[in-house]
């Protein structure tokens, strides 16, 4: 799902920008996170999987690069994918 980052920022990233992949418990948790981020005016792209077996399920969020302090308050509870 790292492609979500690419879809959210296109080619506008600065050299040295890297992707961080965090995990959500399930689709409702990811939807709630997206809603909270949008309410806080954090730009994001919702990535839906059109193919079976997921058939339109929300699979990822792409966030634009931002200061850690801004994103940390919203994402600190999300585990890092290892």
The Cα-based distances of 17 to 11, 31, 41, 67, 78 in angstroms read: 11, 25, 21, 12, 20
What is the per-residue pLDDT for 12? 66
**How far apart are the C-alpha atoms of 21 and 1, rounded to whole Å?**
8
Say what the pTM is. Answer: 0.81
- Mean pLDDT in order along the chain per 10 residues (82 residues): 64 73 94 95 90 93 84 92 85
**How far apart are the C-alpha atoms of 31 and 68, rounded to whole Å?**
21
The residue extents of the domains of the chain are: 3-75
- Give the pLDDT confidence of 51-69 residue by residue, as tens digits: 999 999 999 998 877 788 8
DSSP-derived 3-state class of residue 82: coil
Displacement of CA 51 from its chain's centroid (Å):
20
């Amino acid at each position: 799902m790292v492609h979500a980052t690419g879809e959210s920022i296109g080619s506008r990233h600065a050299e040295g920008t890297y992707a961080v992949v965090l995990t959500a418990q399930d689709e409702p948790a990811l939807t709630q996170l997206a809603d909270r981020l949008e309410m806080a005016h954090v730009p994001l792209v919702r990535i839906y999987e059109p193919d079976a077996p997921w058939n339109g399920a929300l699979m990822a969020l792409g966030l634009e690069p931002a200061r850690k302090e801004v994103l940390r308050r919203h994402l600190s509870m999300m585990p890092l994918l290892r």
